[in-house]
């Protein structure tokens, strides 16, 4: 191992190469390794959103649909009842709007719960 004086020098050199500002120097001069700031005109895009749509069938009990809406989509009981009635009367209803991964996951959980309980309930994911 080299002397500690040389080691410190090597560490200082490493900091400079990694972009950290140099120690000392002129106070008014520009420091090497300044923080780079992104152009404010470049803003990150919002991810595309997807609708989770619950489809009606003649076999899945209304209580099961309400239970799924409460447990998977965290809907209040009254809102779950309203969505269930919309599915029953209109044939389909949008349950929520999420990013693609979340929408697909929630739709998959709904279908899985339905299959476990031997119901044909369907849930689809559509681009908003």
Same domain, 24 and 75: no
pTM: 0.68
Name the nearest CA neighbour of 57 among 119, 124, 113: 119
Same domain, 13 and 76: no
44 falls within a domain: no
- List pLDDT tens digits, range 65-106: 999 999 999 999 999 999 999 999 999 999 999 999 999 999
43 falls within a domain: no
Instruction: Give the angle subtended at the CA of 47 by the CAs of 43 and 49, to the nearest 5°.
Output: 140
- List pLDDT tens digits, range 15-38: 444 555 555 555 544 556 677 776
Same domain, 54 and 32: no
């Amino acid at each position: 191992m080299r002397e500690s004086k040389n080691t410190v020098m090597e560490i200082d050199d490493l900091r400079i190469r990694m972009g950290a500002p140099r120690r000392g120097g002129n106070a008014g001069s520009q420091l090497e390794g300044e923080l780079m700031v992104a152009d404010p005109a470049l803003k990150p895009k919002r991810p595309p959103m997807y609708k989770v749509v619950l489809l009606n069938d003649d076999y899945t009990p209304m209580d099961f649909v309400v239970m799924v809406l409460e447990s998977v989509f965290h809907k209040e009981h009254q809102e779950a009842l309203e969505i269930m009635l919309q599915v029953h009367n209109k044939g389909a209803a949008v349950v929520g709007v999420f990013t693609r991964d979340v929408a697909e996951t929630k739709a998959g959980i709904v279908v899985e719960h339905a299959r476990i309980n031997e119901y044909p309930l369907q849930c689809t994911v559509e681009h908003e």
